[in-house]
């Protein structure tokens, strides 16, 4: 048991529960033993004989002694030769039989059987035993509920110590820049005295910012593994509960646990779930989330940087975090964990194929070049899909074809075998996808075509997949060519059939959003000018009600007109190109109808070389939440 007021350890509580469970069965066993053991002890090896036979043995003078039980009439007789006879006679023996026994000089003894005292009191004790057992069960149940209520404010953080398998920087492929950023944290935890000697203060908190699946949690665990200190891992949702004040209590308990461990790393995943801006909703300033955040801010101010406790957190929404959380002295440093580059993707793929049986001919560098925009989690899923495809086709090892099939499945979706299109739908889809592929090949700034198919895939009847080059900024010419590619399918239908279909619905959605961002956010309209009107997207309903649109109705009208002008201009470009290359469009559509799927090289061989030689314009920075431009619109 725990002493000195300390709470019992989990092993002690587990042993106590085991003993309490076994004590019930021990008590039952004792009761049964008290009933059964006396009967077993009193058993003997006597020979059964009826009463008349016993009297005959008495008459013949073969019996030496007789013991008669008064209450039951049981008789035990010992013969002269030592044989023990057991019989059952009347409770009151006849006088003639008794006289016969006296005449034969037989030692006759009458006994009164002693009853089991426990069995005598059992009918009286049984109701009390049942009542006591019922109250004991109720008490145990109440204690369990009370212990659950009392522990509701305890932290749910999982503790990883040096006894667990360690994760180091070698287990994190790529991200050399990120590792250099957080190496100081590792050095401080290893040798804090060296920093204290020169008066250096390590950042109290390190915020890992990046898209989902980039390995922020793995990097935080690698820091703990490299530093050799305990690692407390918890998610933001673990602090939230239906009871008021539970989140703040769990925050206090988390920091108290870290202080007991000495040097430690506290890692909070998805911190945006509790770290959102305060006062942004309709519920006032006293809701559970704000109280939890207030307690966390107070705790971060309560420990010194020399204590050896470092806060780490991860989020993919830094824009919604409370400013007080990001100020110096709390989360001093933000480390961006971006999507991996080409070399990093190749390193990540090598890590994930270590435990897979792959062909020696596989070129992971080529595969990495064809997966721009994929995160580490996406690459892990890609390798797993390739392994599943190899098993599906009964191949003993993973080949390059399996990786190609897995990439098509991840980027385009699963093939829908059950969809049966009519000949008319196939023809319209072939010209629609041929229009996308034709414009993408003709226009110099468009992403190269990787594959075109009219097989129903995902939610689309056909897909034109493009693989973009490694880019960090997008030029205006690139975006305009992107819009022209989106309108290529719709314009191909109009050029060939004279009507359009609903297959271009997703293209219109993507194109409208892209054109609006060109005008309202990226300053690519001469009429609107270098002003950003749409970058402050409100997240909370409360802010949306308080702060309205920050531009006038006249500006809104100008924005709408510019969006329409851009869309119609690119639509006209796509229409003109398709009219000029109608024969090439027919050849691409015919190839799709015959083969159902063709590659980008096949498309390039069916149409003339690109005719546009536009100069390269100045580029513009793309915000982190810019739309993905790695695949054409699926129809």
Catalytic residues: 433
CB 231 within 8 A of CB 218: no
H helix intervals, 498-599: 505-520, 541-546, 553-580, 582-595
Cβ density class 192-208: b for 16+ within 10 Å, e for less = beebeeeeeebbbbbbb
Helix, strand, coil proportions of the chain in percent (round to 5)?
50, 15, 35
Q: Which run of H or E residues covers position 13? A: helix 10-41
Cα 268 to Cα 303: distance, rounded to the nearest angstrom: 17
> Which of 635, 603, 634, 633 is CA-nearest to residue 484?
633
Mapped onto helix, strand or coil, the DSSP state of residue 169 is helix
Mapped onto helix, strand or coil, the DSSP state of residue 356 is coil
Q: Strand locations in 300-448, DSSP E?
A: 309-315, 333-336
Mapped onto helix, strand or coil, the DSSP state of residue 558 is helix
CB 527 within 8 A of CB 562: yes
List the structure tokens of 600. 């980008």
The distance from CA 59 to its chain's CA centroid, rounded to whole angstroms, is 92
Query: From the CA atom positions of the chain, what is the Rg in Å?
Result: 43
CA angle 458–464–465, rounded 5-degree value: 85
* Beta strands across the sheet bearing 333-336: 158-160, 231-235, 264-269, 309-315, 205-209, 333-336
H helix intervals, 596-632: 600-606
Q: Long-range contacts of range 57-60, CB-CB < 8 Å, 24 or more positions apart? A: 57/85, 58/97, 58/100, 58/101, 58/104, 58/106, 59/100, 59/104
CA dihedral 456, 458, 463, 467 (to 10 degrees): -150
The overall longest dimension of the chain from CA atoms, in Å, is 143
List the structure tokens of 585. 């469009």
Q: What is the distance in angstroms between the CA of the first residue and the CA of the last residue of the chain?
A: 68
Mapped onto helix, strand or coil, the DSSP state of residue 448 is coil
């Amino acid at each position: 048991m725990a002493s000195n007021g300390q709470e019992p350890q989990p092993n002690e509580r587990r042993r106590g529960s085991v003993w309490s469970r076994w004590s019930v069965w021990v008590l039952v066993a004792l009761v049964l033993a008290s009933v059964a053991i006396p009967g077993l002890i009193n058993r003997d090896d006597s020979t059964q004989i009826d009463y008349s036979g016993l009297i005959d043995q008495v008459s013949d003078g073969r019996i030496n002694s007789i013991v008669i039980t008064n209450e039951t009439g049981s008789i035990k007789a010992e013969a002269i030769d030592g044989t023990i006879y057991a019989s059952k006679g009347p409770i009151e023996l006849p006088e003639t039989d008794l006289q016969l026994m006296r005449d034969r000089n037989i030692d006759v003894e009458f006994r009164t059987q002693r009853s089991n005292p426990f069995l005598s009191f059992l009918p009286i004790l049984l109701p009390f035993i049942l009542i006591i057992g019922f109250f004991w069960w109720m008490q145990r149940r109440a204690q369990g509920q009370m212990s659950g209520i009392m522990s509701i404010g305890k932290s749910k953080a999982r503790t990883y110590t040096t006894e667990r398998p360690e994760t180091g920087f070698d287990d994190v492929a790529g991200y050399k820049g990120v590792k250099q950023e957080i190496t100081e944290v590792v050095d401080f935890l290893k040798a804090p005295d060296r920093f204290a000697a020169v008066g250096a203060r390590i950042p109290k908190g390190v915020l890992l910012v990046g898209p989902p699946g980039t390995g922020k949690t793995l990097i935080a665990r690698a820091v703990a593994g490299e530093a050799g200190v305990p690692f407390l891992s918890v998610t933001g949702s673990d602090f939230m509960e239906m009871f008021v004040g539970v989140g703040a209590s769990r925050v206090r308990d988390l920091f108290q646990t870290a202080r007991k461990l000495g040097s430690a790393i506290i890692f909070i995943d998805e911190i945006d779930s509790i770290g959102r801006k305060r006062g942004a909703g309709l519920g006032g300033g006293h809701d559970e989330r704000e109280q939890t955040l207030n307690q966390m801010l107070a705790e971060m101010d309560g420990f010194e940087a020399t204590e050896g406790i470092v806060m780490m957190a991860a989020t993919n929404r830094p824009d919604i975090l409370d400013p007080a959380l990001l100020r110096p002295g709390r989360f001093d440093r933000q480390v961006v964990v971006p999507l991996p580059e080409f070399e990093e993707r190749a390193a990540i793929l090598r890590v994930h194929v270590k435990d897979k049986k792959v062909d020696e001919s596989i070129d992971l560098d080529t595969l990495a070049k064809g997966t721009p925009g994929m995160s580490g989690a996406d690459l892990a899923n890609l390798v797993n899909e390739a392994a599943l495809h190899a098993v599906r086709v009964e191949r003993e090892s993973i080949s390059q074809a399996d990786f190609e099939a897995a990439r098509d499945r991840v980027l385009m979706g699963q093939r829908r075998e059950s969809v049966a299109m009519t000949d008319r739908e196939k023809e319209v889809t072939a010209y629609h996808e041929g229009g996308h592929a034709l414009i993408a090949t003709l226009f110099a700034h468009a992403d190269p075509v990787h594959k075109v198919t009219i097989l129903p895939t995902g939610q689309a009847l056909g897909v034109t997949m493009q693989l973009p080059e490694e880019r960090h900024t997008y030029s205006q010419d690139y975006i305009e060519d992107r819009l022209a590619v989106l309108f290529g399918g719709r314009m191909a239908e109009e050029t060939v059939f004279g009507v359009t279909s609903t297959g271009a619905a997703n293209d219109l959605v993507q194109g409208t959003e892209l054109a609006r961002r060109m005008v309202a956010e990226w300053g690519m309209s001469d009429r609107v000018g270098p002003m950003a009107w749409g970058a402050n997207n409100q997240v909370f309903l409360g802010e949306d009600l308080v702060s309205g649109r920050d531009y006038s109705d006249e500006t809104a009208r100008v924005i709408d007109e510019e969006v329409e002008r851009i869309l119609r201009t690119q639509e006209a470009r796509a229409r003109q190109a398709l009219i000029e290359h109608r024969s090439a469009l027919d050849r691409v559509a015919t190839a799709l109808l015959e083969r159902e799927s063709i590659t980008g090289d096949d498309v390039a061989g069916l149409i003339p070389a690109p005719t546009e030689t536009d100069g390269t314009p100045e580029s513009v920075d793309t915000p982190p939440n810019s739309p993905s431009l790695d695949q054409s619109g699926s129809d």
